[in-house]
Amino acid sequence: MKAYLFGWNPLKWEWANLDEDIKNLAETGKYEENWSVASHKTIQPGDRAYIIRVGVEPKGIFASGFVTAAPYQVYHNGRLRYRINIAFDVLLNPKKESILSLDILKTGNLAAQNWTPQASGISIKPQLVDELDGVWLDFLANNSKVELL
């Protein structure tokens, strides 16, 4: 399976309804959001998505899901950009819960990936996808009250 890394910088976009979106996901098992994507030529529905908080501490992965739509173009801030839809299976509030930190992501084999990219929606190195998925699942099992949907 292919996997992609999507960035969220709270300094550039405030996620005003994060707690409400977390509650909605917990209650209904569904929460979908569109996100900008750099790898618009390769990403496909069904690919794995990881969302990483950048810009301010704590930095790290706080959400995951699956791509549900092929890339499409929209005008944003006067420019044509590609976006995809992500159906979340995990969504944490970095201000209130532990997240998978950059310190963990920058150890071992995972250190080969750029975890703080300038573009959102970059490909995660194929040889790291299974390891990242295992680290994420272990993290959730040991540090979170969230169950993977």
What mean pLDDT value characterizes the chain? 93
pLDDT tens for each residue of 44-82: 999 999 999 999 999 999 999 999 999 999 987 788 999
Q: Pairing relation of β-strands 122-123 and 48-53? A: unpaired
User: With contact defined as beta carbons under 8 Å apart, do 129 and 92 qualify?
Assistant: no
Q: Which residue ranges form the domains of the chain, and what is each CATH number?
A: 3-143 (3.10.590)
pLDDT tens for each residue of 110-130: 999 999 988 899 999 999 999
Q: Pairing relation of β-strands 48-53 and 79-91? A: unpaired
Mean pLDDT within 8-18: 93
pLDDT confidence of residue 77: 78
| Lookup result for tokens 């929460």 | 31
pLDDT confidence of residue 26: 94
Share of the chain above pLDDT 70, in %: 96
Any residues with CB less than 8 A from the CB of 32 and at least 6 apart, and which?
68, 85, 86, 87, 88
Mean pLDDT within 88-102: 96
Which of 9-18, 85-94, 129-138 has the lowest average pLDDT? 9-18
The pair of structure tokens assigned to 81 is 């950009």
Instruction: Give the Cα separation of 59 and 102 in Å (integer).
Output: 6
pTM, entire model: 0.93
pLDDT tens for each residue of 38-53: 888 899 999 999 999 9
Q: Reply yes or no on whether the pLDDT at 4 is more than 90.
A: yes
